[in-house]
Amino acid sequence: MLCCVVLDDEPLAREVLEGYLALLDYIGSVIPFGSTAEALTYLKDHEVDVLFLDIEMPAMNGLDFLRSLENPPVTVFTTAYRNYAFEGFELGVIDFLLKPIAYPRFVQAIEKIRDFYSLREQSADLEANPPDDQAETIIVKSGVQRIRLDLADVLYIQGLKDYALIYTTTSKIVLKGSIKTMYALFPPPQFLRIHKSFIVAVPRVTRLERNRLLMDGLAIPLGRSYRADAERVLLNVR
Mean pLDDT of 121-144: 61
Angstrom distance (rounded) from CA 164 to CA 92: 11
Amino acid 64 reads: D
Mean pLDDT of 168-195: 86
Q: What was the pLDDT predicted at 127?
A: 53
62-99 tens-digit pLDDT: 999 999 998 899 999 998 887 776 677 778 889 999 99
Which strand ranges, in their side-by-side order, compose the sheet holding 50-54?
27-33, 2-7, 50-54, 74-79, 95-98
User: Quick check: 134 pLDDT over 70?
Assistant: no
- How many other C-beta atoms can be found within 10 angstroms of the C-beta atom of residue 96? 20
Grade residue 180 by pLDDT with cuts at 50, 70 and 90: confident
User: Quick check: 104 pLDDT over 60?
Assistant: yes
Q: What was the pLDDT predicted at 124?
A: 40
Q: Chain-wide mean pLDDT for the chain? A: 86
Grade residue 125 by pLDDT with cuts at 50, 70 and 90: very low
Please state the domain extents for the chain: 2-121, 124-233
Mean pLDDT of 30-55: 96
Give, for 229, the enclosing helix (H) or strand (E): helix 227-233
Grade residue 27 by pLDDT with cuts at 50, 70 and 90: very high
Does the global pTM surpass 0.85?
no
What fold, for 124-233? OB fold (Dihydrolipoamide Acetyltransferase, E2P) (2.40.50)
- Cα angle value 136/166/83 (rounded, 5°): 125
- How many other C-beta atoms can be found within 10 angstroms of the C-beta atom of residue 178? 13
DSSP-assigned letters across all residues of 3-62:
EEEEE-S-HHHHHHHHHHHHT-TTEEEEEEES-HHHHHHHHHHS--SEEEEESS-SSS-H
Q: What was the pLDDT predicted at 20?
A: 97
Q: What was the pLDDT predicted at 38?
A: 96
Given a contact cutoff of 8 angstroms between Cβ atoms, the answer to whether 21 and 132 are in contact is no
Q: Which residue has the higher pLDDT, 33 or 121?
A: 33
Q: Which residue has the higher pLDDT, 206 or 174?
A: 206
Pairing, β 191-195 against β 198-201: antiparallel
Angstrom distance (rounded) from CA 199 to CA 182: 8
User: Quick check: 128 pLDDT over 70?
Assistant: no
CATH architecture of 2-121: 3-Layer(aba) Sandwich (3.40)
